[in-house]
Amino acid sequence: MLMVLRKWVWRMALRDARRGLKPLLLSMLCVILGVASVVTAFSFRDNLQSSIRTQSKSLLGADLAIDSREPFSSDAEALLASLGGDQSRQVSFSSMAYFPSSGSSRLVQVRAIGGKFPYYGALETEPATAVRDFQRRADALVDDKVMLQFNAQVGDRVRIGEQDFRIAGKLRKIPGEALAFSLISPRVYIPLGYLRQTQLVQKGSLVRYRVYFKFDSHVDVDQLVRRISPQLQRLGLQADTVSRRTEAISASMDNLSRYLRLAVFIAVLLAGVGVASGVHVYVKEKIPSVAVLRCIGANPRETVIVYLIQTFVLTFAGAVVGAALGAALHSLLPLALKDFLPVNASMPVAPVGVGAGMIIGLGAAILFSLIPLLPLRKISPLVALRASYETSERGKDPLLWLIFFLIVAGVAAFAVITTASWLHGLWFTAGVILAFGLLAAVARGVSALLRKLVPGFLSFPWRQGLANLHRPNNQTTAVMLSIGLGTFLLVTLYNVRSMLVNQVAEHSAKDEPNLVLFDVQKDQRQAIAEIVRSFNASFYDEVPVVTMRLAALKGKRVEELRDDPASRLPRWVLRREYRSTYRSHLSATERVVAGTWQGRVDGESQPIPISLEKGIAESLRVTVGDPLEFDVQGVSLRTRVASLREVDWQRVQPNFFVVFPEGVLENAPQFYAVVTRADSSGASASLQRAVVQRFPNVSVIDLALVLNTLDAILGRVSDAIRFVALFTILTGFAVLASAVLSSRSQRLKESILLRTLGAPWRQIVSSVIAEYMFLGLISGLTGAVLAIAASWGLSFYFFKTVAAISLPAVISIPLLVTGITVLAGGLGCWGIFRRSALEALRAER
């Protein structure tokens, strides 16, 4: 350590730098990009959390919200009244919205609102005044994406149920909700006073009732909720407070931030590779000087410190510039992710982000730079006299292994801290080591193979070009890592997108249902069937749906289970309204995995043998033979689990958690789901229009719409991921540029020699193209193959679906990176080829 303080090492570092630090400049660029990416990601997290804190009240829009899945009982109303404060009411449900101007309809979430909600934040509309006035008359605020989709304008009509509304404004943003959710379930706000006219809220409808409260500032809302908690439970009500909402959103945004940080860490590692590559080339030139210093008495460690000082100063400067760049760019990340953020993320640079970027970026750069620097200790002073006969024993340097260990430990520590999970952190570390290791191994393997085997039938330029991949000081490994990693990331992204879209799309290609009509009442069945047939649509099935609630589980009342702190049952399985069906046979989307299917019972015998979906059975912690009691709108039914089913939820058909046998529920209040298939998008649109116009209470799930929505969401996600991956890709280019430029002087000498021996320029250019084409192709293909393997792994272990490969991406991206590599190689040699040998030699000196 004291050696660093010796004046002569600093003087030597400064003097030696006079020759120029050009080979290190691209390493510095790598550091800049690596640090900028970390500053951006860390600042984003801090800014987001800060924004969530400062905008916390607008996340809920009120101080308190109380929900019910049923109309508020008189006891509930008494409780609500006793709480005081300013109150607003909201009733929300899914329904079809019909736009007469275009004749189109779409499933939306209808929110009937009464009162001054939101009390904090604002419903952003265009025009801005629309939110102020729409409750006074039959006006509606419609999600701007739906309006765009159907080319609707402010002033047009929209029909919700039996009531027409005038579109008063486009709805742009709702406090506390991310824009992306409007892709899945676009919102339409109508006045609460006109809800009854829609005639959509009927017995059995899936409706949510909510009351918003605004209290005086001195009211401790969390304490209030704790006080009334027993009453809320007794009345089946749920409370949502600002602190709970903030906590939930913070947790999910924190997850987002975590994985962003992991993604940019790849850029840091690649930057480290770039630094190691640049420093390696730099110190190769310094070996004669190092040997001379050793001859005149310099300590082995001091010679390393001289060049470590130079590297440190340059990487520090790079880190400072990178922090500044990150500070400038960090505001772009929230813009890239704005569709998924529930708040407006604030812009100021977070000092934590800058600090983290500097420390992580600098730390990684120093560790990676030590890899080529440490072997300087082993440079024999005899090199000043002549090259050593004995090969260096680099592989046996324990200090080098320590550096490798520190790098791996650093990656693991970062991953574990970021993911807050040992398992995830170690998986990430293993994945990174595997990706880097495989790419490096392929590079070494290719070099070794080419050293032994260059096909004789290849022309001289090709043989010369391929030989350059294994010559001393080749940059094959660095280029393979940079290009291969970038290809791997991009192809994986496209493969995963294909896989997720195909999950749904494969069912549209076959002869399978692509439309499901929900909430069909008993007296509407025949007319619906006629409409379906009139559009030549295939009628697949008519499925009865009975709503019920769980009353008891394995002999214990649901109320007991809810109040029992030892119960580990999730509250939603106890509270939810179950939409069940009855039939005698299994449907095409399910199979029995335990017990025995019973399709029919006779008479009033109980317990009734029912079939549960295996996932809900796990959540309820029940198995075959366990008793359950259901409340079917006031009638108690004792049941027994007779079988468990595995259900393919991705099929566009009504699937159910609970299936009763025939002979039990035929007389229960019920509605129907009609499963059908329209052969064209035109027929589908016409069918939907006809149904909604005649029966506004009927909702339609359209597979084409699901696909479009999924594709749109994945597109937004891909864009965001691509933005984050951009840092990695740019760093990859910097490493490529560094590798190309580092070989320039060697290439110059070779070309001069070849020219002197009579080789035409065409041959020399061809060998450069051959070299970089092969390098780019191998790197791109290796990255693509790794991506295919990673996609398979993700599909099997994570998404649990069939792997899908995006063939256009697998083919085009490796070709693209090959083209870029050849271009980089050509640009790196620019100037060498255009001049005479002597001119080029003088110019380089």
Partner 1 sequence: MKNSTILKVEHLSKYFKSGQQTLTVLNDVSFEIEQGSACAIVGPSGSGKTTLIGICAGLERPSQGSVLFNGVSMHLSGEEALARIRNELIGFIFQSFQLLPSLTALENVMVPAEIRGENHARNRAGELLERVGLENRLHHYPIQLSGGEQQRVAIARAFMNRPKILFADEPTGNLDAETAKEVVRLIFEINATTGTTLMLVTHDRDLTERADRVISLKAGKVVSDGEAKTHLAGQ
Q: Contact positions toward partner 1, by CB under 8 A?
A: 6-8, 11-12, 15-19, 288-289, 291-300, 302, 380-382, 384-386, 389-390
If the CB atoms of residues 390 and 523 are measured against partner 1, the closer one turns out to be: 390
If the CB atoms of residues 15 and 533 are measured against partner 1, the closer one turns out to be: 15
- Do residues 66 and 235 touch, judged by C-beta distance below 8 A? no
If the CB atoms of residues 8 and 422 are measured against partner 1, the closer one turns out to be: 8
How far is it, in rounded angstroms, from Cα 173 to Cα 180?
10
How far is it, in rounded angstroms, from Cα 495 to Cα 507?
19
Identity of the residue numbered 298:
A
Q: What is the CA radius of gyration of the chain?
A: 34
If the CB atoms of residues 21 and 837 are measured against partner 1, the closer one turns out to be: 21
DSSP alpha helices (H): ranges in 474-536? Answer: 476-509, 525-534
DSSP alpha helices (H): ranges in 296-397? Answer: 300-329, 332-336, 351-373
How far is it, in rounded angstroms, from Cα 228 to Cα 451?
79
* List of E strands, 178-319: 187-191, 207-214, 238-241
- Report the C-alpha dihedral over residues 437, 440, 446, 450, rounded to 10 degrees: -140
If the CB atoms of residues 187 and 294 are measured against partner 1, the closer one turns out to be: 294
Minimum separation from the CB atom of position 306 to partner 1 (A)? 11
DSSP state of 835: S
If the CB atoms of residues 256 and 295 are measured against partner 1, the closer one turns out to be: 295
How far is it, in rounded angstroms, from Cα 691 to Cα 687?
6
How far is it, in rounded angstroms, from Cα 200 to Cα 197?
8
If the CB atoms of residues 18 and 510 are measured against partner 1, the closer one turns out to be: 18
* List of E strands, 58-121: 64-68, 86-99, 104-114
Q: Count the Cβ atoms, other than its own, within 10 Å of residue 811.
A: 12
β-bridge pairing 608-613 and 635-647? parallel
Tell me the CA distances in angstroms from 600 to 225, 547, 626, 639, 644, one per residue in order.
47, 20, 19, 13, 16
If the CB atoms of residues 285 and 560 are measured against partner 1, the closer one turns out to be: 285
Provide the greatest CA pair distance for the chain: 106
Minimum separation from the CB atom of position 399 to partner 1 (A)? 14
How far is it, in rounded angstroms, from Cα 239 to Cα 210?
10
Identity of the residue numbered 6:
R
If the CB atoms of residues 57 and 294 are measured against partner 1, the closer one turns out to be: 294
If the CB atoms of residues 378 and 463 are measured against partner 1, the closer one turns out to be: 378
If the CB atoms of residues 311 and 495 are measured against partner 1, the closer one turns out to be: 311
Token output for 46: 């801090």
Minimum separation from the CB atom of position 840 to partner 1 (A)? 19
Phi-psi region of 350 (alpha: psi -120 to 50; beta: other; left: phi over 0): beta
Minimum separation from the CB atom of position 396 to partner 1 (A)? 16
Minimum separation from the CB atom of position 387 to partner 1 (A)? 12
If the CB atoms of residues 292 and 683 are measured against partner 1, the closer one turns out to be: 292
SS3 386: coil
Minimum separation from the CB atom of position 11 to partner 1 (A)? 7
- Do residues 731 and 267 touch, judged by C-beta distance below 8 A? yes
Minimum separation from the CB atom of position 300 to partner 1 (A)? 6
Minimum separation from the CB atom of position 27 to partner 1 (A)? 19
Minimum separation from the CB atom of position 843 to partner 1 (A)? 16
Closest CA to 235 of 66, 36, 400: 66
Q: Count the Cβ atoms, other than its own, within 10 Å of residue 50.
A: 15
How far is it, in rounded angstroms, from Cα 658 to Cα 306?
74
- Report the C-alpha dihedral over residues 818, 822, 825, 828, rounded to 10 degrees: -120
Minimum separation from the CB atom of position 297 to partner 1 (A)? 2
Minimum separation from the CB atom of position 392 to partner 1 (A)? 14
